[in-house]
Structure 1
Amino acid sequence: MSAALNPVKRLSLKNPWHFLALGFGSGLAPKAPGTFGSLAAIPVFLLLSPLPWLAYLALTLVAIYGGVYICARASRDMGVHDHSAIVWDEVAGMLITLFMVPVTWQWLLTGFLLFRFFDVLKPWPISWCDRHIHGGFGIMIDDVLAGFLAFACLQGLLVWLG
């Protein structure tokens, strides 16, 4: 399939911006690339989780703000706005979701499921942002909001379960 028919062929994993935009290659999954991008965030979370919370937060903010450029660059290079292979937004959303969550498989699974729920369902205001905001910021903002909603739910569960 030519690059004109498959815009993903316009990207290269050797290009650091493309590599990140594609979630370390996870966005190349033929089915459910957003799910695979969300899963790719888990090792990143595990690397960041031992850091003090302020350092984790700072690096998450770098992932968000840098993601605006990363996603815009990949989108421009593909010639397609918010192609499903661009999953850096899922990585950033998961980092938000898992902020200050105990590092156990149960909490990781719960965070993953909550994030995917909000990312796929796109309740308001996520759906509004997804339709009306474009460019790199538009690619990022819906997943950032999904991450905040999932984070709020996880924190609520943590309080409720004591």
Structure 2
Amino acid sequence: MQYEADTGKVPAPISSLRNTMINKTALYIATLGPVGNLPKMPGTWGSLVSAAAAPWLFLPFSLPLRMALLGLVLILGAWAATEAEKALGKKDPGCVIIDELFGQWLTMLPFAALSPAHIAAAFILFRVFDIAKPWPIKRAETLFPKGFGVMIDDGIAGVFAGAILYFLLPFIP
């Protein structure tokens, strides 16, 4: 069997195993584990899980740390979404919900503390913008390549939802 020193290439079985491991890892990240494979409304499930996890995994951190966390989610999510699209042979497959995590947490980014009612409002507002996709949200899907288009449109929906939430907070108990 020839190896890198002889041919410069990895043998096919090793290369195939590497690709399988990358595909499985990317799909696991892109679908937030089993959540993206729940029947019906995977985006809503992804947003709900993201909103429910935020008080423990996102909101307790300082603003700079939350921004860094979102940067990591954006980069990792774009990679995972791109790999998932390749593996599944579809553009923005429904089971890919890492973008919901990004958008939902981006909705909550500017707020130091949110009550359960505020988090529920953040969830609803994000879902409205994510589903309706008004301009420029819809345009972002096609403007950015591959997984970044998947992530950025939900990011814009999150910014819109966060802006509306900012004005609604005084009216939410």
Q: Which residue of 2 aligns with 1:30?
A: 39
Q: Following the alignment from structure 1 to structure 2, what is the Cα–Cα distance between the partners of residues 40 and 20?
A: 14
How far is the alpha carbon of 1:24 from its aligned partner? 2.3
Q: Percent identity?
A: 31
| Cα separation, partners in 2 of 1:16 and 1:125, compared to 1, 3 Å | same
TM-score by length of 1: 0.83
Contact 2:77 2:147 in 1 (8 A): yes
Q: Following the alignment from structure 1 to structure 2, what is the Cα–Cα distance between the partners of residues 74 and 16?
A: 9
Q: Which residue of 2 aligns with 1:104?
A: 115
Q: Following the alignment from structure 1 to structure 2, what is the Cα–Cα distance between the partners of residues 97 and 85?
A: 21
Uncovered stretches (5+) of structure 1, i.e. residues with no partner: 1-10
The one of 19, 24, 27 aligned to 1:18: 27
2:48 paired with 1:39: yes
Q: Following the alignment from structure 1 to structure 2, what is the Cα–Cα distance between the partners of residues 92 and 130?
A: 15
Alignment map for 1:20-99 (pairs within 5 Å):
20-46=29-55, 47-99=57-109
Q: Which has the larger radius of gyration?
A: 2
- Report SS of the residue matched to 2:93: coil
Q: Which residue of 1 aligns with 2:12?
A: none
Q: Following the alignment from structure 1 to structure 2, what is the Cα–Cα distance between the partners of residues 110 and 82?
A: 26
Q: Following the alignment from structure 2 to structure 1, what is the Cα–Cα distance between the partners of residues 144 and 70?
A: 21
Superposed CA RMSD = 2.3
How far is the alpha carbon of 1:155 from its aligned partner? 1.6
Q: Following the alignment from structure 1 to structure 2, what is the Cα–Cα distance between the partners of residues 124 and 97?
A: 17
How far is the alpha carbon of 1:92 from its aligned partner? 0.5
How far is the alpha carbon of 1:43 from its aligned partner? 4.2
Q: Per-residue CA shift, 1:78-115, capped at 9, x if unaligned?
A: 11110000000011001101113333210110000000
Q: Which residue of 1 aligns with 2:161?
A: 150
Contact 1:21 1:71 in 2 (8 A): yes
Code of the aligned partner of 1:140: M
- Report SS of the residue matched to 2:160: helix
Contact 1:23 1:40 in 2 (8 A): no
Q: Which residue of 2 aligns with 1:120?
A: 131
Q: Following the alignment from structure 2 to structure 1, what is the Cα–Cα distance between the partners of residues 136 and 145?
A: 15
How far is the alpha carbon of 1:53 from its aligned partner? 1.5
How many residues align structurally? 151
Q: Which segment drifts farther, 108-117 or 92-101?
A: 92-101
Uncovered stretches (5+) of structure 2, i.e. residues with no partner: 1-19
Q: Which segment drifts farther, 69-78 or 149-158?
A: 149-158
Contact 2:118 2:169 in 1 (8 A): no
Q: Which segment drifts farther, 104-113 or 92-101?
A: 92-101
How far is the alpha carbon of 1:156 from its aligned partner? 2.1
